[in-house]
Structure 1
């Protein structure tokens, strides 16, 4: 029969490993609570009453609800995009001159492929939306195809340089005036990942597997005959 000493190393290893895996699972649950609270706060900020665009704007104001009135300039950037309901198309980023004389970027929303070349001359609009600094661009994002007039990500500084505006982007949620067939796509937290629950479940499953394998190994050792 095996000695107590021969059982001890795998038992200690199994207990320690299982404890570590369980602690990682509980850590992910704490992260889940933190992320859920953060998303709730972001949504509350998105839904807050709109205000005029501050004189000084910076990325810490991301999601701030604002209201602006003015005119589109007729200059625009088409960003390759798509929706579940309508399929592929483009986000229309227009130059926008506010009534108080500022030139900003306005993400008016979405058009399908069929409306890519539809003329959109200057139009007076009343817009309620949110300041935004999208993180669409990554190291693998292609450079804009300026010949075709198509961009592959919303890059605020580059778009502002292209349309000669401030590096300020308002994503429209509600538009009054001639929308010219552009459908607003409001800022939303739906695209913000919150996978901590699935990670927690994975760690707990690993812990259960480790505990089970440890119990099986101890059982085998105890039944081993020489």
Structure 2
């Protein structure tokens, strides 16, 4: 003879079945999916950065000079190439910390040069000084290497569409009188941490999912 559970009497509250919470689960899964998508995006950025570094290395190996670009942005095919400009006069100095070609520290003397009656001018790194005192350099023909300028848009500015075209800079082969030659940046100096970022996003997604599953299982067991 089998027995059946007593039916609830009229007016008695019935406890709902306990299971996985729907809304929190949806929110957690959406967050995990977002983190996985960010990890995949970082892997794509890794491939793009590797191709860009390879292009810069080929540029640096070329001995032929190119005409310095008049307006930003500078095409990637011209970065780390040899070029020359005529600085009619330095209109502004932008001293920044840097190193010379022997690894010694100092102050990079970056001149914003006038090259004509109009235009944005050209940034020229004419050497390393021991202090912030501008050199007595009045301009002239500068031969050197085209590199990215010191002011580059941030990631947030690029993602939000507020980035302005970045100016390039010419690092002089021969420094101005009284200065030491500045170290020339190379493609090898470019950071490529996108694989590490991708792994971090995947780990965050896995940890968030594991913590949520453990928390819900404990809640159900209670």
**What is the SS of the residue equivalent to 1:203?**
helix
Aligned 8 A contact 2:123 2:149 in 1? no
Hey, what does 2:95 align to over in structure 1? 80
Hey, what does 1:207 align to over in structure 2? 205
User: Runs of 4 or more off by more than 6 Å in structure 1?
Assistant: 2-5
Residues 135-162 of structure 1: CA deviation (Å, up to 9, x unaligned): 3699xxxxxxxxxxxxxxxx97xxxxxx
Aligned 8 A contact 2:94 2:109 in 1? yes
TM-score, normalization: structure 1?
0.57
Hey, what does 2:214 align to over in structure 1? 216
**Does 2:108 align with 1:93?**
no
Residues 151-210 of structure 1: CA deviation (Å, up to 9, x unaligned): xxxx97xxxxxxxxxxx95322x32x9754332332444675544334323322321222
Q: What does 1:1-226 correspond to in 2, within 5 Å? A: 6-7=19-20, 9=22, 14-15=28-29, 17-53=31-67, 57-59=70-72, 60-61=74-75, 62-63=78-79, 65-68=81-84, 77-83=92-98, 86-93=104-111, 106-113=124-131, 116=133, 119-120=136-137, 127-130=143-146, 134-135=150-151, 170-172=170-172, 174-175=173-174, 179-189=177-187, 194-224=192-222
Give structure 2 stretches of 5+ with no counterpart.
Answer: 1-14, 116-120, 155-165
Aligned-pair CA distance for 1:30: 1.6
Aligned 8 A contact 1:96 1:105 in 2? no
Alpha-carbon distance change, 17 to 178 in structure 1, aligned in 2, over 3 angstroms: closer
Report 1 or 2 for greater relative contact order, CA contacts < 8 Å, sequence distance ≥ 6. 1
Aligned 8 A contact 2:98 2:182 in 1? no
TM-score, normalization: structure 2?
0.57
Aligned-pair CA distance for 1:128: 3.4
Q: How many residues align?
A: 185
